[in-house]
Amino acid sequence: MQTMIDPVSLQLPQTVEPRNPGQDFDADWLRSLQANTSAIERRAKTLPGRRSVKKDHQAAWLLKAITCIDLTTLSGDDTAARVQRLCAKARQPLRADLLTALDMPQITTGAICVYHEMINPAVTALSSSGIPVAAVSTGFPAGLSPFHLRVAEIEQSVAAGAEEIDIVISRRHALSGDWRALYDEVRSFRAAAGHAHLKTILATGELGTLRNVARASMVCMMAGADFIKTSTGKESVNATLPVSLVMLRAIRTYFERTGYRVGYKPAGGLSKAKDALVYLSLIKEELGPRWLQPDLFRIGASSLLLDIERQLEHHVTGNYSAGYRHAIG
């Protein structure tokens, strides 16, 4: 069985994007950003049913989604053994017999995402794999620890081997409209991260309005964020299509004005293969195919991979399999 995708397209592009250096704080630009909530919600409602792919095309998109997953474990009972199992799954996210049936080479997930204490076992388990370790930081998930400790946490995670840092912004700055304070905060986090890529978590479910989402997105990009991310996964409302649409259009506006591409990461509540298909189609429509590579698009998830694997087995065999047939780490 042959999928309708070039295996090369599952890999990172040959050219490396110039990293977003950030821009000077521009209050006038921020004030110009608005959000038409009713129009955004109408557009978002059309997405799940209007962009449906089937058969080989669906399998190809699901394979693409796997390469963009930040396979995540952020539990209080995490252990080194659990992280090692998850890393083994990241190295081989799809069973070998399914890859053979799909005529595909070995693929990996985009990254592993863990707490600081789990960086060392993750780095060891992923040695020579090329899969980066992402660490949540800055008092995740609330972001309310003392500022100097949040900066130090970033520095220590990078020193431990994290190649990506997922920070949480201080929501109070966005809610009070103190955008300069948010800019200065993220700018400091970017400096502390050094060579590691910085993903800024907006916690969109706690920002109050879509206009705040648009402005927080732009402030983080002005401050040098490499990615903007919807949620910690711990809020009552996590990734949604309306906030995603707002964030993607902010990314497009930033690119059109500066020439720098910033990545996007939805997280929280994405557990079904159909969710991945909707987000992939949204990315393609709003930003274009270049953003469908894992250096610019990630999905923060833990259980999503299981459902994708079950859907791919159904594509190959015509039968749905029980979850226990697919190792999930």
**Does residue 284 carry a catalytic annotation?**
no
Amino acid making up residue 259: G
Nearest to 248 by CA among 207, 206, 208, 204: 204
Contacts of 96 (CB under 8 A, 6+ apart): none
Q: Catalogue the E-assigned strands of 20-90.
A: 69-72
Q: Per the residue annotation, which of 64, 70, 89, 166 is the catalytic one?
A: 166
Neighbour count for residue 35 (Cβ, 10 Å): 19
Q: Which of 64, 89, 199, 229 is catalytic?
A: 229
Count of C-beta atoms within a 10 Å radius of residue 105: 10
Tokens encoding 308: 């994708």
The phi and psi torsions of 239 (rounded to 5 degrees) equal -65, 130
Cα angle vertex 39, ends 35, 44, to 5°? 100
Nearest to 115 by CA among 91, 143, 139: 139
**Both structure tokens of 88:** 């083994």
Contacts of 132 (CB under 8 A, 6+ apart): 110, 111, 112, 163, 164
Distance of alpha carbon 165 from alpha carbon 197, whole angstroms = 6
Name the active-site residue from 64, 265, 275, 307.
265
Q: Which of 33, 44, 30 is nearest to 245 (CA)?
A: 44
Q: Look up residue 169 and give its two tokens.
A: 């912004």
In single-letter form, the type of residue at position 307 comes to D
Catalytic machinery residues: 166, 229, 265
